[in-house]
Amino acid sequence: MKELKQQKMTYRQAVREAMREAMIKDDRVFLMGEDVGLYGGCFNVSEGMLEEFGSERVIDTPLSESGFTGAGIGAAMGGMRPIVEIMTVNFSLLASDQIINTAAIQLYMSGGQFNVPLVIRMATGGGKQLAAQHSRSLEGWYAHIPGLKVLTPATVEDARGMLWPALEDPDPVLIFENTTLYNYEGYMPDNGSIVDISTAKVRRNGADVSIITYGIGLHKSLEAAGILAEEGIEAEVVDLRVLRPLDNETIFKSVSKTHRAVIVDEGWRSGGISAELSSRITEKLFYELDCPVERVCGAEVPAPYARHLEQASLPQPEKIAETIKQMGGLHG
């Protein structure tokens, strides 16, 4: 059997390659957003794509999230396959009416006549000293909305492999890319791969506790699992990958095995996706749990600018490990 070659690339390069491959494969696919063309994208994700595909397929838009998101919805309904880039999740609030009141409900409101096959990419999360207006994690808000699919790729493979199935989905898909992941490196098969955009994935097996997380939380949780392993505690790490719809089967299977659950989310604790996960686990697996579900979340403050304060406001591996060590019945 021929060995599959792998290449090393950054998360940023993986997203770019995913868009390039989609645009080569399907001439209905195009990219639009602020600074995606001449500037190469705010995070350099689309660098070089304007030169390769031209200004009719890599479109620099005015600073009007509502306007160009609405244009993307119209293009999708007209048969195109747009990739709309909103510079950060914070600015998506300016397009929330288009996303929530139009794209998400168009199929229902039209009696099943009109789909909106739209993909919206946006950067999310803190940790880059971009201050309060640019550092929120709002993907949990969008996971509240019926009619949307919400993806949170945490690895190079997922960053590259989730885009094509998202473009093939007949309904709107939001892809949240944590800003601190863009420089993260990983390996990809030369021919790429298609990723299932409906399931979570166990990234590390363990028998003592389930750490359930997504995005940058995956890498912090894997680091925490390494810390715990040195003390004889084996943590299983579940990467949600998809916040809507949640993969209950994978989550429940893991917690049924370990009988303990910790949810790691950079978003705020109150009313967040961690609360929903905790509730589902407690409702369905109450008698399987050896102790209450724990949560490690972002501090409920506007994101600080000062680096030491910003880092203190975000979940860190040491905090995750310490929370787990304090759970009842664990050996160490």
Of 167, 189, 211, the one marking the end of a domain is 189
The predicted model scores a pTM of 0.95
259 flagged as catalytic: no
Question: Does 2 fall in a domain?
Answer: no
Asked if 146 and 42 sit in the same domain, the reply is: yes
CB under 8 Å to 231, separation ≥6 — which residues? 325, 332
- Cβ distance 58 to 27 under 8 Å? no
Q: Which of these, 165, 219, 156, 215, lies nearest to 13 by C-alpha position?
A: 156
Q: What is the CATH number of the domain that holds 116?
A: 3.40.50.970
Question: Does 152 fall in a domain?
Answer: yes
Set 17, 34, 65, 266: catalytic member:
65
Asked if 139 and 284 sit in the same domain, the reply is: no
Residue 120 is classified by DSSP as E
Asked if 141 and 265 sit in the same domain, the reply is: no
65 flagged as catalytic: yes
Of 189, 215, 248, the one marking the end of a domain is 189
The count of structural domains within the chain is 2
Q: What is the CATH number of the domain that holds 205?
A: 3.40.50.920
Asked if 152 and 35 sit in the same domain, the reply is: yes
Query: HSE of 306 in the Cβ direction (CA atoms, 13 Å)?
Result: 3
Mean pLDDT in each 10-residue stretch from start to end of the chain (332 residues)?
Answer: 71 97 97 96 96 97 97 98 97 97 97 97 92 92 97 96 97 97 88 86 98 98 97 97 98 98 96 97 97 96 93 96 89 54
Question: Does 164 fall in a domain?
Answer: yes
Question: Does 194 fall in a domain?
Answer: no
Asked if 170 and 225 sit in the same domain, the reply is: no
Asked if 110 and 206 sit in the same domain, the reply is: no
- Cβ distance 125 to 135 under 8 Å? yes
Structural domain of 228: 201-325
Q: Which of these, 184, 170, 151, lies nearest to 9 by C-alpha position?
A: 184
At 1 the pLDDT is: 43
Asked if 235 and 107 sit in the same domain, the reply is: no
Of 189, 215, 240, the one marking the end of a domain is 189
Question: Does 196 fall in a domain?
Answer: no
Question: Does 330 fall in a domain?
Answer: no
At 193 the pLDDT is: 76
Set 34, 134, 219, 294: catalytic member:
134
Asked if 80 and 159 sit in the same domain, the reply is: yes
Asked if 168 and 232 sit in the same domain, the reply is: no
